[in-house]
Structure 1
């Protein structure tokens, strides 16, 4: 996607957003797009390096409750509000149920599932207060607040060699729906985005480790009906929709950004 100027007074103008895992990959793309649309954005990451000038880095280890609270407290101290929380931090895993030991199961579930719970629990008091606060005119509610969780097509499709990862993302999908039910009456919407295979540095490392990187990339592209990998910008746009005012009637929903991988069953091209 070509570089674009910030949207002056965009739909997130005056809003504050926090994105976990916001220093790279999908998280960085989400953080940048929220900022482009007017938000003050904090990239919460365990290893945040140099970031674009429009983003503010905050250290955050989602496996540590005190670290999660400290990051949210820092946002509150600077702005007194938070309108959008994107729970994007996550790690991958490969193999069948025979291939990962208990320590790896605990590690992946701790980051991908419990990490969402930790950061959300830290942010919910501030999200509630923001949802109930007057808007800039001082006369009307702000329109509510939003949590968007990064899930995966692995939550809804059986993928080979992804048992642990799929289990973690299936839990994220269930957690998203439960959180939506718990917090809708508090003015907090909760949804998730379900990407297919996204062209990220993590996928790049997997391809580099393959015996035939070119063939492996072609196989990943072929399993998505569009015939290509999903871009980080496409996922970022979906997250912004779910977090934004035009999705005010949307909660407890998963939005697939997977090139048709979940819903379409195409015949081989030669048979079309």
Structure 2
């Protein structure tokens, strides 16, 4: 399947969504954006290894929500309001005045911490969407010469998670065929080592072949910027001025589904 969009398009789209979520400060809006982003990923992503990183981003976002809500309930400053239940209070030193472990859990305190967790999780999922829609290699091809060293570091960072997800799928399939149960604890360290080694090998191969060492870029299969990319970025930029336009921004890629299908079929 061919990538129809410019690699920078999805990152600009996701960054503006993340900024809009942070400025909007609305949990329902954040959930709606995540839902639309999920549909965009399902429609536009390819069968490449990095396309599976969205599910990992969703799982990470869920863990962030759980951890943030749990810590907000157990540890924090008291917020007056309607008490839901009470937890045992753990005494703290005087120099930690204002912070309490346990105590009354009010509805306002629970909603406040859950809201912060939803916002953080939604921002993480937005970046996971961009990572799953963009080939890290195509992204590096359009980076300016001035950030060559940053590009080498970026190829390690952007390819580590996709390699990790691919290795997990491969090992799960192998263990299933052997009739074994999948145990994540036993393979965690080897998986991280293998994924990091592959990313470093890729960066070393790019460095040895002179990647980014010259200002002259090859025009073979050049990555071009078209009207659809400009439209998505321009509409996404509107959400920076008004968070109310964020839903229009996140839904803009749906206008170019037919174009993507046509490019894929050619």
Greater RCO (CA < 8 Å, at least 6 residues apart): 2
Q: Do these two structures clear the TM 0.5 threshold for a shared fold by scoring above it?
A: no
TM-score bracket relative to the smaller structure? under 0.3
More helix by share: 2
TM-score, normalised by the number of residues in structure 2: 0.25
Which structure: larger Rg?
2
Bigger strand share = 1
